[in-house]
Amino acid sequence: MSITSPHLGSPSNEWTDARLLYALEEVVETELNRHLKVTKDWMPHEYVPWSDGRNFPGFFEDGEAWEKGQSKVTEVGRIALVVNLLTEDNLPSYHHEIATLFGRDGAWGTWVHRWTAEEGRHGIVMRDYLLASRAVDPDKLEQFRMAHMGEGFESDNRHSMLHTVAYVAFQELATRVSHRNTGHHSGDPVCDRMLARIATDENLHMIFYRNLLKAAFEFAPDLTMQAVRDVVVDFRMPGHGMPGFERAAAQMAIGEVYNMRIHHDDVLAPVIRFLKIMEIDGLGPEGMKAQEELGLYMGGLDAEASKFDEKLAARKARMAARAGA
């Protein structure tokens, strides 16, 4: 999909992925330099309660089998931690996707590798925490990892660099929110502190892609509007293919780690509002149509989220009544 660019003058000139990559290179370099100035390196091992660790059964005669009661992490925290870690485990596939779309040269390539290196810390520290604190069944965690990665991963937006930029602008924020809320609901201050550190990285990644998306709107507003519409309407978290994801997502929704209300209020709306996407004018017919459809979708999602809020409140009331009986 491409449109005639009003910035290039000639009607024969149309935006393609290759031309947009070139046009955005300077923006990528600026954002990369900004990111490197504000980001802070951190050591994953410093966030892990190593003194809580002990041997598991297997090669060690003194190995102790895992049981739920060995960890202070709540049930919803345990579920969310597994989902979040399995999502992080697919980093090799994510790297392949963006390296293929963005390239490995120049500022784009430097960002691809830097992002991958920073994301790598997340999986390292989460797995070390989970094993040292015995927050999850280690055998099931490894079985899930093998099954999830064995299936492979293909992004819904692998066909388009612009769709990918739009997707990650929202997805990085969604990941930040999921990690942060998991920490809040984990019941363990150590876990909360670790996930807060991860969430800080995810927020900086979101800012990088959000600013890149802003530049894309300046270059190719109609194309970018269509990409945002497509991504928002068909949005799925990258871990959707993992074993038991639908059930885990439902439990995370009820546990208020991540649900429709959070997705609307804390992920989609902030990016749309910051970039003033619904206020962009001067669009062509396709861009205007995409903008209108985006607005209608957001309105519908807000209404659906309100229905979910009512059901969740009713559920809480029933549970409170049972507890007081």
- Alpha-carbon separation of residue 114 from 104, 120, 296 (angstroms): 11, 10, 37
Which segments of the chain does DSSP mark as H helices, in order? 17-38, 75-89, 91-102, 106-133, 138-151, 161-184, 189-219, 221-233, 245-254, 260-262, 269-274, 285-324
202 is in an annotated binding site: yes
Dist CA 287 CA 269 (whole Å): 19
119 is in an annotated binding site: yes
Dist CA 307 CA 314 (whole Å): 11
The answer to whether the beta carbons of residues 129 and 182 sit under 8 Å apart is no
Amino acid at residue number 43 = M
Dist CA 191 CA 47 (whole Å): 8
122 is in an annotated binding site: yes
310 is in an annotated binding site: no
Element (H, E) at 257: none
Task: Give the CA radius of gyration of the chain.
Answer: 22
263 is in an annotated binding site: no
**Which residues define the annotated binding site?**
88, 119, 122, 172, 202, 205
**Which residues define the annotated binding site for Fe cation?**
88, 119, 122, 172, 202, 205
